[in-house]
Chains A and B, each alone.
Chain A
Amino acid sequence: MLHSCIMFAQDCNYRLTGTIEDFHDGTPIVGATIYMKNLDTYTTSNIDGYFSIDDLCKGKLILEISHIGCETKLLEIDVTGDMVRIIKLEHHIEELGEVKVNGKGQLKQTATGQESKIKSEVLSNYSALTLGDVVKEISGVQSLNTGNVITKPIINGLHSSRVAIINNGVRLQDQDWGIEHAPNLDINASSSISVIKGSSALALSGDAIGGVVVLNPKRAIRKDSLYGQTTLNGQSNGRGGSVSTKLGKSFKSGWYVDGIATYKRLGDFEAPDYVLSNSGTEFRSFSINGGFSSFEKGFNAFYSVVDNTIGILSASHLGSIQDLVNAINSDRPLIIRDFTYDILAPRQEITHHMAKAEFYKRFSSFGKITLNYNYQNNQRFEFDRRRGDDRDKAAVDLKLQTHNLRLDVQLDKTIKWISNFGVSLGYQDNFANPETGVRRLIPDYERYDFGIYGLLKHQLNDNWLLDAGVRYDFNRIDAKKFYLTSRWEERGYDEDFSDIIIEDFGTQLLTNPQFNYHNISASLGAKYDWNESNSVLFNASISSRAPNPSELFSDGLHHSAARFELGDLRFDQERSYRLGVSYKYDVEATQLLIEGFINRINGFLYLEPIGTNETTRGPFPEWAYMQTNALMYGVDFTFSHTFNESFSYTNKSSILFGRDTQLERPLIDIPPARTENSIRFSKVSWNDFSAGITSELVAKQNNFPNNDFEAFLPLEGENVLVEISETPDAYHLLHFDAQMKFSFSKRLGMKVRLGIDNILDTSYRNLLNRQRFFADELGRNVNLQIQLNY
């Protein structure tokens, strides 16, 4: 008796933990039933797909895992100690559709694209941050920043209008042309993010020559359940934090509804040596998603609103080239005030509404039809430091409204051959409010889009998966644009475009530019699974992008950028020819992914400093959009290895080259080489404890064009070289994070995470931050996150 008691104490205190994931895409499966056959007890997976079984004895354990819509899985586990298992379930009702076009986007977006996924577990670490921060998880993807809050993804060196952002099946339309225009969304509303490098996701867009970022909401489950999650974040840098709450209810009948609300408030951020004055932010968002889903038919209605106020660094606001030279020559920002939560001018105030309605129906021996309508309303105000009566008036006041209707037909009678056909119709209206008292940087315009596509996927045999797609897009832009007569003549438009003048106001001309663009995109790909651990992927694509309103029409002072920006009506489309090759090696302890690409872009549009414009304020920096032919190529590398139960290592590296083949010089603003090494320690028996240290090394970009220009500085009484081209030095940062999970009851769980970014409080500047001329990046930031699941 005594003997067996001791045996029990020694051998029956083991713990099995793990996650239940979808076989196709690795998203967590909520509410899966885990039945321990030989113990006759049950447990279920929580909102993260996580489960744990305590007090296990040494020996065989038989698990039966089941979930609505999934094939029930039997699993035999030999318990020898504390163990972790990732269990993948096959959603067999969904096995028909790998190329997702219906917006629920739970599965892979492409069959042969260079696609990576950020799972909800990783995503939740970024609850208080932005999309631009989280996508850096993927090798080869970086973020383009204006300060610390305005961030946008750069995929293989391409950004803004070249990257489509799809949120819950809707392509975000929010004036994405500007570097300082960040995507308006709440990442807390997504359960995973997919990034597709290149333009192979033709069902989603034809002109995203850089790539596509897809934010997937949590999938609806057919089960009676009520669940919630609240995430609290606090951080030392910015002295603030965020709170985000999700609540969801689903029914076995297929009805579901969930809502998410997020609030974030941060004061001035701090660099190691000073306060970054006026860099605070206030963010509010709310969304509600509901509908009915079954295998045969379903509908989804979604509404979200994001309201964001963002301070722009005071010291980045310039009046003349003298101010710019002073800023470049100074180590410190020229305005440093005490810390405050106040957000003064210059600042942005953006409100983005999105509404979507979607309906689908399946027909036997045919396939599936999906119809999606969405509407977006983006109101953007930019406030500037102004004088007199205009003090509280916005300097930019733009309202962008977009309607989109999409019909997709999927033919999946045979699993070996799946094809999709679709049509997309879009209408967009931009209104620039004249009440600002500032000449419109972006004019009033209407844009009409029509797209049609066909995709084909073929599973040739167990080894080969082939796909091909073709898409045609028509874009028409019809603008009402004022030009200063002097500018009109300086650009030579009086010779080429005299027929578009509709009214002459003396010093200004009202014109009506109307442009039509025809774009053809195509993609061809193949995936070869050598064996269980080796696979190779090839993808070739052609795509074109029509110039955006900013590239065509910019003309005037961009207050928040402190420069003149000039577009050109003569611009043609960009045409990209991209070839991507990936090699993947995946065994239990080691994963390796090497992704190479080469991208030839004819008619590549970019913005660069060209000199000065003479004003009564003295000479002012002038930037112009240019068009050239470009060649970009690079390699992204991801490697991870698990040494034993406790230690694992990850490396992510990327290197990229960009050349202007017409002017035979490097392209401007190409992300520098980057490598990230991290070591992680995990101990399941300590409440799932894990901690990691990450080293981030970013090289100096030595390949940059020389855009330095000479300007006469009245105060110095001489010509001075404005050294605007030099790139920042290399930098190295260390980051730390640790987390633990606690389970209070079957329903109530908690995750606690502590992170320290930039542990050594290193001062550095980042080429990909537009404010690099004015201030250092953030210093040390300690953040604490508490996540409650219930």
Chain B
Amino acid sequence: MKTFKLIFGLFLIIGLHSCSNDDDNPPPVNEEEVITTMTITLTPQGGGTAITMRTQDLDGDGPNAPVVTVSGALATNTVYNGSIELLNELENPAEDITEEVEEEDDEHQFFFSLTGTNATTMYADMDGDGNPVGLAFTLTTTDAGANSITVTLRHEPAKDAAGVSDGDITNAGGETDIEETFNFVVGV
């Protein structure tokens, strides 16, 4: 019967212990790595109105779709300096993910895929290995027309694969961190 008592006692002790840590509410977790917001600022070289393109999904991975906005039309025959800012607005204050991408620029690359014939893009930055990143780029417009640009950020792409350093996503692989299509107009 000694064993019986021992077992019973053990159960009682553990049972009591586990009942005592009740009623503490767990803290909320704010998703740390989600990119809720991407803002692309296009500043015309030689002055003029800057254009912003933004995708913002304030419920992160919740059911609401991102809100996509483009501030206005682009001018014809103009070279724009593009820069990209990434934020996680689930955290308060918002966390700047751009810095993380800069720090790990050898593992990240933006891809710009255009439809329409009125604009082209070029990378304007490089990682330590001389491969493009895309946080800075140029966008050059020609004649007037309707266009769209799909901006994709890949994590751990194969930067050495054929065409990838020229901005061709086909062989890039890796994992998509952000992807959005912006429709825009060149000329009025």
Contact = CB atoms under 8 A, between A and B. Distances in A.
Nearest to B108: A387
A486 interface: yes
B118 interface: no
Interface stretch (A55-63, A216-224, A312-320, A646-654): A312-320
B11 A385 contact: no
A753 interface: no
B7 A359 contact: yes
A69 B168 CA distance: 77
B143 interface: no
Interface string A386-408: 11101000000000010101000
A319 B65 contact: no
B93 to A, nearest CB: 15
A390 B32 contact: yes
B10 interface: yes
Interface in B47-94: 55, 57-66, 90
Interface in A551-595: 556-557, 564
B180 A427 contact: no
Nearest to A480: B26
Contact of A613 (B22, B61, B90, B97): B61
Contact of B7 (A357, A490, A508): A357
Contacts of B174: 319
Contacts of A357: 3, 6-7, 10
A427 B28 contact: no
A172 to B, nearest CB: 19
A681 interface: no
B117 interface: no
A387 B104 contact: yes
Interface in B12-40: 14-15, 18, 22, 25-38
A510 B179 contact: no
Interface in B101-145: 101, 103-104, 113, 115
A319 B153 CA distance: 10
Contacts of A335: 173
Interface string A316-351: 011110110000000000110000000000000000
B65 A387 contact: no
A484 interface: yes
A616 interface: yes
Contact of B28 (A385, A482, A714): A482
Contacts of B146: none
A564 B59 CA distance: 14
Contacts of A385: 155-156, 175
Interface residues of A, number: 60
B169 interface: yes
A373 B180 contact: no
Nearest to A369: B4
A480 B25 contact: yes
B41 interface: no
Interface stretch (A106-114, A261-269, A430-438, A723-731): A430-438
B3 A438 contact: no
Contact of B179 (A320, A373, A432, A613): A320
Contacts of A35: none
Contacts of B10: 357, 373
B150 interface: yes
A334 B37 CA distance: 28
A735 interface: no
A438 B55 CA distance: 22
Interface string A608-625: 000001111110100000
Contacts of B90: 507
A439 interface: yes
Interface string A653-686: 0000000000000000000000000000000000
A386 B173 CA distance: 16
Given A371-B7, A437-B32, A482-B28, A618 B59 contact: no
Nearest to B111: A715
A502 interface: yes
Contact of A437 (B4, B29, B57, B62): B29
A362 interface: no
Contacts of A227: none
A715 B31 contact: no
Nearest to A489: B63
A618 B180 contact: yes
B102 to A, nearest CB: 10
A717 B150 contact: yes
B33 A390 contact: yes
A617 B65 contact: no
A182 to B, nearest CB: 25
Contacts of B25: 480, 502-503, 510
Given A318-B175, A322-B176, A438 B31 contact: yes
12 contacts: A318-B176, A320-B176, A320-B179, A357-B10, A385-B156, A387-B97, A439-B29, A439-B30, A439-B31, A482-B28, A484-B60, A510-B25
Top-10 shortest CB links A-B: A319-B176, A437-B32, A614-B65, A319-B175, A618-B179, A388-B100, A320-B176, A486-B62, A486-B59, A484-B62
Interface of B: 3-4, 6-8, 10-11, 14-15, 18, 22, 25-38, 55, 57-66, 90, 97, 100-101, 103-104, 113, 115, 148, 150, 152, 154-156, 169, 173-181
Given A323-B176, A484-B61, A613-B61, 12 more contacts: A318-B176, A359-B7, A387-B33, A446-B22, A480-B26, A482-B26, A490-B62, A502-B25, A614-B65, A616-B66, A715-B179, A717-B148
